[in-house]
Chains A and B, each alone.
Chain A
Amino acid sequence: MSKGCGKLDEAGTAEIADERYPTKLNKIINLFESLPEDERRETLVSYADNAKKQEPREGENFDLVDVRKDEECMDTVGVYLHVDENGKAHIRMTLGPEVQTLTRAMASVLCKGLEGCTPQEILDLPSNFVTRIVGAELIRIRSQTIYYVLTRIKGICKVYLDRQRMAAVA
């Protein structure tokens, strides 16, 4: 298990918070926190540019696929989950053309940062790291869909775990 996928309280300090995030995500958080505002914006745009690379690749198989257009998002968002034989999650995402830049960036960050976590670790992940990546300057009511992407990823992990539990009981 990646260090830092355990459970800590929501109001943890930066040091404590570091331990509650997967190593890859933690590195991304640290990177963003070290950047001045203009470079943070550039890096977010760079992640947004790379969102296409997080789409499913030819030949990949998934345990669960959830593609839908919700009320709270501008366009269709697809989440694809594969859990390997070691119980590690691999997430791919597709984003419709109307999805906002910040949301694209967050999709890219999450696909990379959560790579190799277990579905349960993803489900337990607190959402307060989002503001540490995006920064207060860009957070506003109409950019709340940055949380939507995390919610969707957690949602598919929850469905996966529920099905596993039901299968175990049956």
Chain B
Amino acid sequence: MATHPTQYANPEALVETDWLEKHLKDDAMRIVESNEDVLLYDTGHIPGAVHVDWRADLQDPVIRDYISPEKFAELCSRNGITPDTTCIFYGDKANWWACYALWAFRLFGHEKVKILNGGRDKWKAEQRPMTREVPKYPQTNYPVPKKRFDKEIRAFFDEALAQSKSGKPLIDVRSPGEYKGEITHMPEYPQEGVLRGGHVPGAKSMPWKTATKDDATFKPAEELAKIYFDQCGVKPDTDTVVYCRIGERSSHTWFVLTYLLGLDKVRNYDGSWTEWGNKVGAPIEKGA
């Protein structure tokens, strides 16, 4: 029987709510809120937190891609972030969107990133301070990243297809109904325009939320290892690709695999099912 880690590979990638409350005025860090609910930040946020809107701030307004390195530098500069700033991400839905924002920051090479364990839900449940005051930080001059780390942490359609054909680990983090092809939208969400249901051939189903506890914090390392190593067949030295519908839920799983389990060959296929399920001729498997 395989032995599993009893500690996270990078425990420093998480901060706890009580620690953060004591460090709200730490100049070396910036608290970044990113939510699915577009107005949630406006209703109240952690004091000092800036808002990064997953669509308006991180995505190109015209083509389906992320912003340019120049725009990323502008985003960081206007939020008072430098390459040395530790960005602590948190948000709604058990940090699903916070992990997406963190992944996008990593895409541009920003290395000092952490997640608030439990996110907005836990912070609020513990009745910690919230404010509607939008902070203003002195503008910085974040250097334009020389490259985007697409090759390292992002998979495109052809790479996901190659992953499927080679039989290497592919994890579908959507709901079981989406994986089986019974539904073409997330439960409780509108249809996002996909024509076919099912999953990428060979992909294992492991809904993203399996990695979290009821209080939105991450499960212990040993449990995560059982889920991903034993049940999904992920191996530390093998390329792994994760996907969902647009790459946001899979960012959560990418964070778990990369930071909490310490795998260094995990890529997020952000084209995900809204690309695959619409692509003419893309192979699809249905059922469990």
Contacts and interface: CB of A to CB of B under 8 A. Distances in A.
A16 interface: no
Contacts of B39: 41, 44-45, 48, 100-102, 105, 138
Q: Which secondary structure characterizes the binding site on chain B?
A: loop
A144 interface: yes
Interface in B32-75: 36-40, 42-43, 55-56
B287 interface: no
A34 B193 CA distance: 33
B38 A101 contact: yes
B188 A137 contact: no
Contact count band on A = 20 to 34
Contacts of B40: 100-101
Nearest to A99: B37
Contact of A74 (B42, B43, B188, B193): B188
Contact count band on B = 10 to 19
A42 B190 contact: no
Given A101-B38, A102-B38, A49 B189 contact: no
A57 interface: no
A142 to B, nearest CB: 6
B38 A72 contact: no
B93 to A, nearest CB: 10
B187 interface: yes
Contact of A48 (B36, B43, B187, B188): B43
Nearest to B40: A101
A62 to B, nearest CB: 26
B192 interface: yes
A58 interface: no
B190 A72 contact: yes
Contacts of A102: 37-39
A105 B192 CA distance: 23
A71 B187 contact: yes
Contacts, number: 48
Contacts of A137: 56
Contacts of B55: 140
Nearest to A101: B39
A119 B101 CA distance: 44
Given A101-B37, A143-B38, A72 B43 contact: no
Interface string A9-21: 0000000000000
Interface string A43-81: 011001100000000000000000000011110000000
Nearest to A73: B188
Interface in A83-142: 100-102, 105, 137-138, 140-142
A144 B188 CA distance: 12
A2 interface: no
A64 B56 CA distance: 40
Contacts of B42: 41-42, 44-45, 101
Contact of B188 (A44, A72, A141): A72
Contacts of A71: 187-188
5 contacts: A44-B42, A49-B43, A74-B188, A137-B56, A145-B190
Given A101-B38, A101-B42, A142-B189, 5 more contacts: A48-B43, A100-B37, A101-B40, A101-B43, A141-B192
Interface of B: 36-40, 42-43, 55-56, 187-190, 192-193
Nearest 10 pairs between A and B by C-beta?
A101-B39, A144-B190, A100-B37, A45-B42, A138-B38, A141-B192, A101-B37, A72-B190, A74-B188, A41-B42
